[in-house]
Structure formats: C-alpha cells, structure tokens
Amino acid sequence: MNVLVPLPFVLPLAGAALAMISRRREAWLRVLAPLVVAGVVAAAGGLVAVVARDGVTAVQMGGWAAPLGITLVADRLSALLLVVSAAVLLAIMLHAVAEGAGGLGRHEPGVFYPAYLALTAGVCLLFLAGDLFNLFVAFEVMLASSYVLMTLTPTAERMRAGMTYTVVSLTSSILFLTALGVTYAAAGTVNLADLSVRVDDLPSGTRSALGLMFLVVFGIKGAIAPMHLWLPDSYPVALTKVTAVFAALLTKAAIYALIRVQTLVFPRDQMSWVMLGLAAATMLVGTLGALTHDDVHRVFSFTLVGHIGYMLFGLGLFSVGGLTGAILYLVHHIVVQATLFLVSDLMQGRTGEISLNRLGGLAQLSSVVAVLFFVPALSVSGVPPTSGFVAKLALFQAGLGAERPLAYVVTGVAVAASVLTLMAMARIWTLGFWRPRPRDAAEPPEEESYTRGGVRVMQSVTAVMVAGGLLISVFAGPLSVWSRHAATDLLDPARYRNAVLNGAAR
C-alpha cells in the first residue's frame, strides 16, 4: 500500500533518469519508454482497486506526519483521472514509437523520451499531491518538460510559440507561488486537508481573495477565457504527438487542481457565479474561434478552449450532479481530444497538409482515417450515443436541476456551444474528407514515405483510442456511479481529511 501510492510518480521519474543516461541509444529508448509508461498504467490500475476497496488512501512520505510532511493522497477522483491519463500517455507514446524519428531531428529522440517520461511523472504527482506546494512542484515538473517538448525540431514559428508558452507559464507559476505564500501566511499550512479546517477561521474577505487568486492561477494554466489567448498560438505549432499530450492533459490537470482546491478549501457560494460566467464565456469564445480558422490544429485548439468551459460549468454549480458531470467530461475529453490530434497526424501523413484550404478527398484516400476522425468528431460534438453526449447530458441535467437563473442561461450557452462544435467538425469533414482534392494542393506523399514510420501501428493505436472513447459510453452506468461517489466526497471532504490527518481534531 505504502509503495503503490507513490509508484505512478516514481516509475516515470526513474525512467526519465535512465533514459537520459542512455539517450544515445534510440533503439533502447523505444523499448524502455513504453515499458515504463505501461508500468504506470498497471500501478494506476492497482491504485483504483485499492481506492475502491479501502476508500481514500494517504501516504506520509519520509514518516513525517501531516500536515508537516509530504502527503500523497489517492481518492476516487484522483485514481480515476490517473488511470485514464496513464492509458492515454501510453497510447501517445506507442504512436510516437511507431512513427519512429518522424518530425524529430537527428539527436532529438534522446531528448523526446526523457522529457516525455518526466512529463508523465509530473502529471502523476499532480493527481496525487496532498498539499499546495507539491501541487506547485508537479506543475513545474510538467512545465519544464513541456518547454523541451514544445521546441523540438525548432523553426522560427515554433520558437516564437515556445516563447509565448514559456512566458505565460512562468507568469502563472509566479502567481501560483505568490498565492501559495499568502495562503501559508494567512493559515499557517499548505496541506489541503489541514487547510480545509483552518480556512474557516479566516475572515470571509481573505478566503474570497485567496479563492480568486487560485482561480486566476489555474485559469491561466487551464486556458479559461479571457486567459486563454496563449493556447491557440502555441499548441498548433508543436509536433503533433506533443500537441496531443498537451491537449489531452495539461489543461485538464489545471482543471483538476481547480476542482480540488475550490471544493476542499475555499467558499463555494461566493465563487459560483464567477465560475458560471467564465464557463459561458469560455464555451462561446472557444467554439466560435474554431469556426474562424482553416488550420485543423487551430480548430482543435479552439475547440479545446471551448470545452474547458463545460468542466468549469460543472464546478460552478457546486452540486453533486454538476461535479459528476464535470468528472465525466474530464474523462471523456482527455481521451477524445488526444484522439483528434492523433487523427490529424494521420491526415497530415496522408496528404502532407493540415490546412482546410488545401485538404480534400481524404475519404477517398483513406477510409480508415475517415472513420477514425468521424467517431471522435461526433463525440466532441455531443452526438448520442457517444461519450460526449453522456457527459453533456449529465451537465445539462445538473444545470436545469439547479433552479437558478444563471445556471439556466449557462445551460443554454452549453447547448449552443455543442451546435457550434458540430458545425466546426462538419466543416472539417466537408472540406477535408468529402470534397474533391483542390487542384493546387500538393501531391500526396509516396507510399513508402508515410509507411516508413509504422503508419499501420499508428492507425491501430488511434483505433484503440477511438474504441476507448466508445467504451466510456458503453460503461457510462458504472462510470457515472463512480463519478457520483467522487463528487459526493468532494463536497463532503470528511473522509479525505480523516485519511490525511488520521482523524485528529484540528
């Protein structure tokens, strides 16, 4: 038990160190990295079983009792997101291995694999962190790795985007560290379980100010409008396999942190209307932006921004139903958003293009790629019976059941955003797959050029991801039950608090 909780973090961190030592042996890295991430998936699966059996599980690292030491905590929410994220990280890793050195410079595979494993370690630590400082450390591990991954195979455009990404990320990190210091000065602790008790003794204005500070911090990291402008300018220019990881996990990690902090520590009623307003703005800005761009990666990036609003909507309701919908949406979106970017990699491999102005005839070129795009496109649009429909239905029911005028308005905005997303996906389908290929478009790559990187394996991995999205809807019943229990625990943190503090009265 004591070993299992930190294992998802320790494994990839040790793997990153080993990969860095042997970075000149690419063949060895192509075996080592998937094995390490597969170990993370196994450890995360074991942690889900432990949480299902024993409930919230906490480990005090180094034998230092909370709230003084480093606490790692696994509950229903963190265990679920951990296993889903690890599975997606494994799929993208296999896709990258199948692609070989595609898109990478001569010596860059020796950088890609260690950075990827370090990013995996940061993601796992973030889901397990039981205090604000280690939450900050987890973000920094993720961001340090992402800085490297963002600028692999540098071009002028990629370096400019990397600079934007770096400056924004460092700014949010400085704000995070400031908020952390102010919290410690006010409450005398940064342990989340301890804070959930001590924060009640703070003046109402202090609690609200701290809550807003963390909303801004995680709003920047999670690309919540109007703090989203960095994302569509940076994600699309990175290598597609890198963008798939970023889109699937980095923004969702920030939303997870926001859910954890806002439900466990800060006042709900005072923040609810702010979050609902930001949720509506994020949905509209993102989905409308997706309709105004021709680059497929930019369309997907704006769609990503828009759908962050759905998760914020569920959190802003501060109800069991709303948080259940937010958790379901997190799981759905981690899988489906990564799938869309993997499909775009296949599209680019078949045509050499990613602009809708020059795409066309993909359905005729490859019916497999057409199907692989069609299913997640329907899912992200919320068309029944896909996982997107299941998650959105839970949110719509929670919004209508809240019996609050603002919740009704945001529910209507969410419905409109779904229609706009469907229009954006239909535009890609019509221009990229259905219409004939434009006369001035580049000739499709020769067969040998795109099969050399293992395109069949890449298609197989993407097909597994598509199937994973469908399985979410197939097992929507058990997943909804698990998510509802997780939401109940978030709103009544007594079990979390007792597991970390051993029931001691504070």
Query: Token pair for residue 446?
Result: 């020769």
- 258's CB contacts (< 8 A; 6+ apart) are 214, 215, 218, 219, 222, 312, 315
How far is 317 from 132, CA to CA, in rounded Å?
A: 24
pLDDT in the model for residue 447: 45
Q: What percent of the chain has pLDDT over 90?
A: 73
Q: Does a structural domain hold residue 280?
A: yes
Q: What is the pLDDT of residue 503?
A: 47
Do residues 148 and 90 lie in contact, with contact meaning Cβ atoms separated by under 8 Å? no
Q: Classify residue 14: in a domain, yes or no.
A: no
What is the secondary structure of 94-122 as a DSSP string?
HHHHHHTTTT--TTTHHHHHHHHHHHHHH
* Residue 13, domain member (yes or no): no
Instruction: Read off φ and ψ for residue 356, nearest 5 degrees.
Output: -65, -25
pLDDT digits (tens, 9 = 90+) for 336-388: 999 999 999 999 888 888 888 888 889 888 899 999 999 999 999 999 999 99
Q: Is residue 276 part of a domain?
A: yes
Banded model confidence at residue 449, pLDDT cuts 50, 70, 90: very low
State the pLDDT confidence band at 441, using cuts at 50, 70 and 90.
Answer: low
pLDDT of residue 71: 92
| Stretch 198-218: mean pLDDT | 90
Least confident of 241-250, 413-422, 449-458: 449-458
Q: How many CA atoms lie within 13 A of 400 on its CB side?
A: 8
- Give me the pLDDT at residue 307, please: 96
Q: Which domain holds residue 394?
A: 269-439+454-495
- Residue 448 has a pLDDT of 41
- Range 214-222 average pLDDT: 95
326 part of a folded domain: yes
Average pLDDT over residues 7-35: 91
Q: pLDDT by residue (tens digit) across 302-350?
A: 999 999 999 999 999 999 999 999 999 999 999 999 999 999 999 988 8
- Split into its structural domains, the chain has a count of 1
> pLDDT digit string (tens) for 119-156?
999 999 999 999 999 999 999 999 999 999 998 888 88
Q: Residue 367 is encoded by which pair of tokens?
A: 């019916």
If you compute the radius of gyration of the chain from its CA atoms, what whole number of angstroms results?
Answer: 22
Bigger pLDDT: 33 or 107?
33
Say whether pLDDT at 450 is over 70.
no
Q: In the structure encoding, which two tokens stand for residue 432, read together? A: 């990229």
The model's pLDDT over 267-304, given as tens digits with 9 standing for 90+, comes to 666 678 899 999 999 999 999 999 999 999 999 999 99
Picking from 96, 69, 70, the residue whose alpha carbon sits closest to that of residue 458 is 96
pLDDT recorded at residue 413: 97
> Which tokens belong to 171?
């700014």
Average pLDDT over the chain, rounded to an integer: 90
- Distance, in Å, from the CA atom of 300 to the CA atom of 303, rounded to the nearest integer, reads 5
**42 falls within a domain:** no
Do 362 and 369 meet the contact criterion of CB atoms below 8 Å apart? yes
What pLDDT is recorded for position 438?
74
Indicate if the pLDDT at residue 445 is higher than 50.
Answer: yes
pLDDT of residue 322: 95
pLDDT tens for each residue of 87-111: 999 999 999 998 875 567 666 778 8
Residue 366 lies in a domain: yes
Is residue 381 situated within a structural domain?
yes
Token pair of 381, please? 């649009």
Stated pTM of the model: 0.94
Specify the pLDDT at position 270: 66
Evaluate whether 331 touches 252 at the Cβ level (below 8 Å).
no
